[in-house]
Amino acid sequence: MKKWVKYSLYIILVLLLAAVLGFYIWSQQTYKPTSELKSLVTTKDYKKSDDLYVFQPKQKTEVGIILYPGAKVEPLAYGYIAKELQQQGYFVVIPQMRFNMAIFEEKKANYIIEEYGDIDRWVIGGHSLGGVVAASYTEKNPDHIAGLFLYASYPSKSVDFSTTNLPTLSIFAEHDQVSPPEDIFKHQSNLSNVAVLHEIIGGNHAGFGMYGKQSDDGEATISNLQQQKKVIKQTLKWLEKTKTTSDK
């Protein structure tokens, strides 16, 4: 083999290794839970089981919720939402994703559903990229999922629920510049014909979690906690309606 070929292969290998290393370092620079979140959610509120954060209600429940985190957002940043849903009798699981991105572990829900087989009905959703992946999982596994919720998110172009009656909730925020309202409306036709859309006035993209400011996002005109409470209120309202509908 000629020397220039060897050198070329060596350079390509070095560049590939550098790219992989760079991606790994980038993926570990996560959005962490804020001090406010930590004051509202303690280790007594959840159980860490391997790479799952499990919020189990005191009473037995038939409904489980799987929440896929947004890209590079640590799972516990959604802990306040999970805790409030837990206190209303819902079993909530937030998984840690490989490289902190749900796109690498779309099928994580399979493991959760198998692990907690005593739950009769599962609802799945997520924030931003987590919602995109949750929607993709739902389309491929319609028998596993009873409802889909999207926080500042929408299905990818290849995922289409428009001919279904899948209970769906899409919550978006006025000042979100990462997933702006116009993008939500642009993809509305991909949602089921019973989808419920709700806009949080004054909210932004990062406000769907509690992890501080996010680059390229708009400025919220309500507090992080206020947005969280609005998200929880709408989610609970939808969950109750979904539960009633499925029981008919």
Q: What is the mean pLDDT of residues 80-86?
A: 98
* pLDDT digits 0-9 by tens, 15-62: 777 787 777 776 678 999 999 999 999 999 999 988 999 999 999 899
Predicted confidence (pLDDT) at residue 176 exceeds the cutoff of 80 = yes
Query: What pTM does this model have?
Result: 0.92
Distances (CA, A) of 83 to 35, 37, 93: 16, 11, 10
**For the chain, domain boundaries:** 31-247
Would you state the pLDDT for residue 4?
66
Angle (CA) 43 44 49, round 5°: 60
Confidence of residue 70 (pLDDT cuts 50, 70, 90): very high
* pLDDT digits 0-9 by tens, 177-214: 999 999 999 999 999 999 999 999 999 999 999 999 99
Both structure tokens of 168:
């769906």
* pLDDT digits 0-9 by tens, 20-33: 777 777 667 899 99
Confidence of residue 248 (pLDDT cuts 50, 70, 90): very low
DSSP, residue by residue, 7-63: HHHHHHHHHHHHHHHHHHHHHTSPBPPPHHHHHH--TTS-EEETTEEEE--SS--SE
Q: How many C-beta atoms surround the C-beta of residue 70 within 10 A? A: 30
Would you state the pLDDT for residue 247?
44
Which homologous superfamily is 31-247 in?
Answer: Alpha/Beta hydrolase fold, catalytic domain (3.40.50.1820)
Cα dihedral across residues 59, 60, 61, 64: positive or negative: positive
Sequence letter at residue 209: G
Q: What is the mean pLDDT of residues 86-101?
A: 96
